[in-house]
Amino acid sequence: MGHTLHEESKTNQDRENQELLPLLPVKSKDKKKNKKPEDSCILVVGTTGTGKTSTVNIYTGSDLKVGEGAQSVTGTTVAVEDEIHAHAPKWIDNPGWSDSDGKSDNKVFKELLCHMQNNKLLWLKQCVVCSTQPRMDSTLQAQAKLLT
């Protein structure tokens, strides 16, 4: 049986109010011992309409729906299995910054972190930034601050 609109709203509100666990430093000698391939991920970020989902599709062999233009198609954060490379990290796609559906950058980023935490994708192997801008303007600088 599907979720009702009320249940879905409650779930989204719960995600917004979810407390993120603090990141703890890991001693370098412990990194290799505790790291598991299924915990690793490649995070794809950028402004809506810059090719994040297309990038994920190309590198993983998946067939996620992509948009034509700046209108957001990816409405939520998703983890994608790599269908091309065995034992590869999962790729994480998301709505992106400056979302055309009106989500704030902070909300998109918090949903992204909650998704990683809830799915135990705790080892960020790579961060891929998709951009169509030739220089680091104030918008890109503000978005980069979310990642640091």
Q: What is the pLDDT of residues 78-135, one digit of tens each?
A: 999 999 998 899 999 999 888 888 889 889 999 999 999 999 998 999 999 888 877 7
Q: What is the pLDDT of residue 39?
A: 84
Q: What is the pTM of this model?
A: 0.71
Q: Which two tokens stand for residue 34?
A: 């505790």
CB-based contact 44:125 (threshold 8 Å): no
Cross-strand bridge partners of residue 93: 78
Q: What is the pLDDT of residue 70?
A: 63
Sign of CA dihedral 40, 88, 77, 147: positive
CB-based contact 20:122 (threshold 8 Å): no
CB-based contact 136:53 (threshold 8 Å): no
The residue with greater pLDDT, 135 or 17, is 135
Q: Which two tokens stand for residue 31?
A: 């990194």
